[in-house]
Structure 1
Amino acid sequence: MAEQTSGGTLPVDGRVPLTYDRIIRTAIELIEREGEQALSMRRVGGELGVAAMSLYNHVSGKEAILDGVADRILAGLELEADPEADWRDQIRALAHAFRRIAHEHPRSMSVVLSRPAVWTSSLPVIERMLTIAELAGLERRTAVRVMRLFMSYVMGTLMREEGMANTLRHIAQDGARAAELVDPAAFPHVVQSACELLSSDFDADFDFGLELLIAAIERLPRTPR
C-alpha cells in the first residue's frame, strides 16, 4: 500500500523511496564531509538507512556511484553565455564556472578529475569551448588544440591548488623543520622568494594564468573569412 503526497508516492511506513538520485546526492554529501576514501556501498546504505544490497537495484557498485558523482558535479556547470559577449569574456566565464563548482564541491571535484570514464560528461564543456574558439576565428585543428589547452589549464590548476594547499598546511605546522631542509647556498632564489612562495593567492594566480592564455590565443593565426 502507498499513499499520495505532494512530493509523489510514499510507502505507508513514511520512508522515502530509494532512487538513483538519492544515492548520488548522498554519496556527494558523504564525500564532501569525509573524503572519497570514506565512500563504500555499506556507508552510503547506512547514510540512507538501507542495507548495502538494496543499492544494487540502482547502481552496479562503488565505481558506478563515483561515475555518477562526477556526472552530477559536471552537470552543475553554468554553460549558457551571452551570444553577444566577446569570445575573451566567454572564455573567462567558462573558466570561472568550472572553478566555481570546484570550490562548491572541492572533494567531489577530485573525483571528477580522477574518473577515466567521465569524458562523456565533459562533452558540453568541450562543445562550449569549441564554439568559443570558432567565434574567435580559429580553424578547426587549432580550435581543438586550444580546447585541450584550456581544459588542461583549468583542471591542472585545480589539482595544483589542492596539492599546494596541503603543502602550505604542512609547512605551517612544522615551519622549523621545513626551514632546516632548505639550504640557502643551494636554493638562494627559493629563500629570497620565501614570502611570496608561502603566501599563494590562488584566485590571483588563476586569473594571471588565464589572461596569459587568452593573450596567447589572440596571437594565433585566424581562418580567413
Structure 2
Amino acid sequence: MPKRAPERVMRVVLTRELIVHTAVDLVEREGAKALSMRAVGAELGVTAMAMYNHVPNKEALVRGIAEYVMGTLDLPEPKPDGWRAGARELAHAFRRTADEYPRCMALVVVNKTALPVGLRVIERALDLCAAAGLTGVEPVRVVRALMAYTLGSQLREAGLKRILREKEGDLTDELRHLEAAGFPHMAVHPAETAEHDPDASFDFGLELFLSAVEMRARRAD
C-alpha cells in the first residue's frame, strides 16, 4: 500500500502590520473587551507567544491599533479663513475616522497607552482653540467636549440605525397621534422627528458647539 504524502501545513507569516490589522478587525467585530494577545493569536492560528517578537504585550497592541486608526485621519491644514472653518474640518475628519472604526476609536480615546499617538490631533485642536481666543484650561476642556460630542453622535447614529431597521411600519404615522397622548411638541413635525439624517444632525450640533465656543471666547475678552 503506497504511503500517503504528508499534508502541507500553511503557516502564516507574522508581521506587526498583520497582527495589528487582525486586532483592529477583532475589536470592530466583537468590541474592546474581546481584545487580548491570545484572542488575536487565535484569529491568526498561532499562539500568543509566537507574536511576542512583533508585538510584546497588549499595551503594544493597543498602541498599534491607535497608530493604525489615527493614521487614517486626514489632519487638515490651517485655514486662512479663520479658526471656525478649521475646527469644522477637523471635526468632520475625526467623525469620518470614528464612523469607519467606531469601536477602535472608542478604545483609543480612553486608553493612556494610545495618548501619545493622538498628540498631533490634540495639538491641532488646541491651536484652533487658541485662535478662537480661549485661554487657560478652557481649550483642553473644549477639545474633550468636542471629542465626546463627535463620538457620542456616532454611537447614537449606530443605535438609531438599528432601531429603524427593526421598526416595522411607518414611524411618522405613529408620531402624528402623539398630541392626543400628551406630547404636542413632538406631534408638530412628525416627519422631521421620524427621519434619520445623521449628517444634518451632526452639522447642526457642531455649529451650536462652535457658536458656544465663540461666545465663551468673547466673554473672556
Task: Report TM bin, short chain.
Answer: 0.7 to 0.9
Q: Deviations over 1:42-95 (max 9, x none)?
A: 55334434334312442324x653453234212322224135341111001100
Gaps of 5+ in 2: 1-8
User: Which residue in the other structure is 2:210 paired with?
Assistant: 214
User: Which residue in the other structure is 1:154 paired with?
Assistant: 150
Please state how far the C-alpha of 1:16 moved relative to its aligned partner. 6.6
Please state how far the C-alpha of 1:165 moved relative to its aligned partner. 2.2
1:35 aligned partner, one-letter code: E
User: Which residue in the other structure is 1:8 paired with?
Assistant: none
SS in 1 for 2:126: helix
Corresponding residue pairs, total? 206
User: Which residue in the other structure is 1:165 paired with?
Assistant: 161
User: Which residue in the other structure is 2:30 paired with?
Assistant: 35
1:139 aligned partner, one-letter code: T
Q: 1:23 to 1:147 in 2, by over 3 A?
A: same
Dislocated runs of 4+, deviation >6 Å: 13-16
Q: 1:188 to 1:154 in 2, by over 3 A?
A: same
Q: 1:102 to 1:148 in 2, by over 3 A?
A: closer
- 2: CA distance, partners of 1:81 / 1:30: 33
Gaps of 5+ in 1: 1-12
1:164 aligned partner, one-letter code: L
Residues 1:60 and 2:54 aligned together:
no
User: Which residue in the other structure is 1:10 paired with?
Assistant: none
Q: Which moved more, 1:121-130 or 1:202-211?
A: 121-130
- 2: CA distance, partners of 1:90 / 1:59: 38
SS in 2 for 1:221: helix
RMSD over equivalenced CA pairs, Å = 3.5
Q: Deviations over 1:93-137 (max 9, x none)?
A: 100110111233344334335646544433222211110111222
Asked if the contact 2:37–2:48 (Cα under 8 Å) also holds between the matched residues in 1, the reply is yes
User: Which residue in the other structure is 2:4 paired with?
Assistant: none
Task: Choose the corresponding residue for 2:100, options 100, 104, 108.
Answer: 104
2:120 aligned partner, one-letter code: P
Residues 1:144 and 2:140 aligned together:
yes
